[in-house]
Structure 1
Amino acid sequence: MVGSVLGDNRYTLSNGSIHSSTGAEEKLNDLRHLLGKSDGDLLKIVGIGAGAWGSVFAALLQDAYGKFREKVQIRIWRRPGRSVDRSIAEHLFEVINSREDVLRRLIQRCAYLKYVEGRLGDRTLYADEILRDGFCLNMIDTPLCPLKVVTNLQEAVWDADIVINGLPSTETREVFEEISRYWKERIGAPIIISLAKGIEAALDPLPRIVTPTQMIQCATQIPIENILYLGGPNIASEIYNKEYANARICGAEKWRKHLARFLRQPHFIVWDNSDLVTHEVMGSLKNVYAIGAGMIASLTNESATSKSVYFAHCTSEMIFITHLLAEEPEKLAGPLLADTYVTLLKGRNAWYGQMLAKGELSPDMGDSIKGKGMIQGVSAVGAFYELLRQQSLSILHPDDKKPVAPVELCPILKTLYKILITREAPVQAILQALRDETMNDPRERIEIAQSHAFYRPSLLSKP
């Protein structure tokens, strides 16, 4: 906990707000009661996947509730065997020595020497090993609290009450199919909170989006009312450093309000919403355009004018797409733009676009980047393009007055697809697309969406 002790079980956080450990215990007791936990029966929470957001989420829970050891157990699973590169070990050593609190903690835990040996190259450090000491491989510069790490998936999940999906969407289906084998003998269904921001496109029998919560439900047969999504406009490291942030937990009313209260902290406000799938899809959509924003920023030497032109076009495409996906798209405008804004400012997808434009990375290197983790926007580009190219979704082109697939009115999405997926165009093509003299005014794209009966409920598997 960052801050000073006030007495009476209260703490002042660095942002000036007050946290009460008594209030935390009350929230924990309420959730335990709701789940039918008796005295001596631990509430078991496990995070699956140890990327930046998954690790921070587990650490937030550990900081808030870990002190109540007789009531709750908080653990995180990650795959074993991932070694830490020498360069990362050297940087990690610098981070440790720059933080007196971290240095003292490691010395007290008799864990400092292994980082010295890792720095010297005399020892290989492993990702699960350093996570136990509070270091996420994808977020070395932000030390977390020590975490209870499990590397055996069956051990992690078989009796868990609450499972946090911190996996990329590209890994969610496979891992939860394995988890389902361990849950065959379960009597009661766990609660699952997914943090994943990514989608897949399914084209048969009808074009539709498949979200991580749908993948989980399909893989495990857990009732959909027990599966929720949590997302918001935030950066994982800043949340752990107690920057004020907010998020929404979306899903069935049976659980979402209780979980919103349980997850809420003085610096991390959690609201609740019933629209699970739409919020999940919007979390993926902004990642698509964040990659392009990073490219534009780098290619134009951070030109404010060029970035604003790009923002106008990308937001008009996002608004256009939301009209296809949502019956009341105007309700999504605020959350979508807020999430887009923070991702463009500091997210890994925008960073990835910048690195591509600088030539420090290339699409051929894949979308799993050392030190950053999975770049979710890459697979999302492919999914949205494949979905919106379907002729069954055709709309009338404003100039030619002929039916065209929706993707034909999304030139930025088309260009990103050519750069990242088919790799037939160089990164500079995004700038050429932006400067295309034949490109329509972005306002016209919004007007088209608003003036037509666009909504296709089948795209989100809705009746």
Structure 2
Amino acid sequence: MVGTVEINHSSVNSNGSRHNSNGAEERLDELRRLLGKTDGDLLKIVGVGAGAWGSVFAALLQDAYGHLRDKVQIRIWRRPGRSVDRSTAEHLFEVINSREDVLRRLIRRCAYLKYVEARLGDRTLYADEILRDGFCLNMIDTPVCPLKVVTNLQEAVWDADIVVNGLPSTETREVFEDISRYWKERITVPIIISLAKGIEAALDPVPRIVTPTQMIKCASKSSLALSGRYLMQFQKGNGVSAVGAFYELLSQSSLSVLHPEEKKPVAPAELCPILKTLYKILIRRFGFIS
């Protein structure tokens, strides 16, 4: 807009990443106060899952708050042992050399040589290794800031204050069952933020769906069950409309969250992929959604 000026107080970290200082420290101090943190007691945030979505979210946190090292620690967990194939290593080398800022950052961190060796086939790179340099295996073309990577799940989460679930819904249950065992001896309950989208479906004992948030609860018995005429048809062995059945499941009040401004129930973000697919089927079949 003509006549407006946006002031952006930002600076460059020693690792080459850029952070924005507009109110970041004040927001962090407020969160620390709410969680009862004292001076010298780090607020520990860990991302679980290092796909594109989880890595970008962790990188955004690192960019915004990573320079406040005496107040917050931001780490990300990913499984160890995933090797980078030769063709990906070659492409990664091209990406590095096409980005002067990334190239300078790697040289400054004495990390460039290993990418040369991988390009020549003299070395094998690993996904957790390149993530430390800011490269997510799922999006090689889009480098992020360097991240603190942990490959041991128990080490990553056992004393975390905030855990960000960046796993796909297909992996959320298994990983959080492990996490729940590590947390059995904890006195304080950590905050869990879930970025996962999608649902888990099951037929036994009754057709039902489970959201990632419910999977995280691990022992939750609040699974959403199919009821009404669809359940009766299913129990009789009759075919049921998948669209109609899923619409009934997704319409249950327990799946809604209250909109903070409009004060009305809305579907949470974790259901958006299945809703998008459902709406697409309805539009193709009927030409509209009532």
Q: Normalising TM by the smaller chain, what interval?
A: 0.7 to 0.9
Distance change in 2, residues 1:315/1:41 (3 Å)? same
- In the superposition, the TM-score normalised over structure 2's length comes to 0.76
How far apart, CA to CA, are the structure 2 residues paired with 1:120 and 1:11?
38
Aligned to 2:225: none
Give the deviation of 1:208 after TM superposition. 2.3
Aligned to 2:282: 317
How far apart, CA to CA, are the structure 1 residues paired with 2:274 and 2:268?
10
Give the deviation of 1:166 after TM superposition. 0.7
- In the superposition, the TM-score normalised over structure 1's length comes to 0.49
Q: 2:275 aligns with which of 259, 269, 285?
A: 285
Q: Deviations over 1:239-263 (max 9, x none)?
A: xxxxxxxxxxx9989xx98xxxxxx
Give the deviation of 1:315 after TM superposition. 3.2
1:312-461 alignment runs, 5 A limit: 315=280, 317=282, 441-443=286-288, 446=289, 450=290
How far apart, CA to CA, are the structure 2 residues paired with 1:97 and 1:273?
51
Q: Deviations over 1:209-237 (max 9, x none)?
A: 21111100125x7xxxxxxxxxxxxxxxx
Aligned to 2:47: 47
Instruction: Tell me, yes or no, if structure 1 residue 197 matches structure 2 residue 162.
Output: no
Answer whether contact 1:316 1:442 (CA < 8 A) is retained: no
Aligned to 2:15: none
Aligned residues: 244
Aligned to 2:10: 11
How far apart, CA to CA, are the structure 1 residues paired with 2:69 and 2:52?
25
Secondary structure in structure 1 of the residue aligned to 2:46: strand
Aligned to 1:101: 101
- Kindly indicate which of the two structures has a greater share of residues assigned to helix: 1
How far apart, CA to CA, are the structure 2 residues paired with 1:103 and 1:273?
49
Answer whether contact 1:197 1:281 (CA < 8 A) is retained: yes
Distance change in 2, residues 1:83/1:38 (3 Å)? same
Answer whether contact 2:197 2:269 (CA < 8 A) is retained: no
Give the deviation of 1:205 after TM superposition. 4.0
Aligned to 1:151: 151
Give the deviation of 1:168 after TM superposition. 1.0
Q: Deviations over 1:390-409 (max 9, x none)?
A: xxxxxxxxxxxxxxxxxxxx
How far apart, CA to CA, are the structure 1 residues paired with 2:128 and 2:176?
20
Give the deviation of 1:20 after TM superposition. 5.4
Secondary structure in structure 2 of the residue aligned to 1:118: helix
Distance change in 2, residues 1:174/1:20 (3 Å)? closer
Secondary structure in structure 2 of the residue aligned to 1:197: coil
Answer whether contact 2:20 2:64 (CA < 8 A) is retained: no
How far apart, CA to CA, are the structure 1 residues paired with 2:48 and 2:175?
9
Given residue 287 of structure 2, which amino acid in structure 1 is its aligned partner? Answer: P
How far apart, CA to CA, are the structure 1 residues paired with 2:34 and 2:257?
15
Answer whether contact 2:257 2:267 (CA < 8 A) is retained: no
Distance change in 2, residues 1:179/1:10 (3 Å)? same
Aligned to 2:120: 120
Which consecutive residues of structure 2, in runs of 5 or more, have no partner in the other structure?
Answer: 1-5, 12-18, 221-254
Answer whether contact 1:75 1:147 (CA < 8 A) is retained: yes
Q: Deviations over 1:286-324 (max 9, x none)?
A: 3x47xxxxxxxxxxxxxxxxxxxxxxxx53627xxxxxx
How far apart, CA to CA, are the structure 2 residues paired with 1:165 and 1:276?
21
Give the deviation of 1:129 after TM superposition. 0.2
Q: Deviations over 1:333-370 (max 9, x none)?
A: xxxxxxxxxxxxxxxxxxxxxxxxxxxxxxxxxxxxxx
Secondary structure in structure 2 of the residue aligned to 1:58: helix
Given residue 285 of structure 1, which amino acid in structure 2 is its aligned partner? Answer: L
Given residue 67 of structure 1, which amino acid in structure 2 is its aligned partner? Answer: H
Given residue 45 of structure 1, which amino acid in structure 2 is its aligned partner? Answer: I
Aligned to 1:38: 38
Answer whether contact 1:251 1:274 (CA < 8 A) is retained: no
Distance change in 2, residues 1:63/1:272 (3 Å)? farther
Aligned to 2:238: none
Distance change in 2, residues 1:272/1:146 (3 Å)? farther
Instruction: Let me know the Cα RMSD of the aligned residues.
Output: 2.9
Instruction: Tell me, yes or no, if structure 1 residue 139 matches structure 2 residue 104.
Output: no
Distance change in 2, residues 1:74/1:189 (3 Å)? same
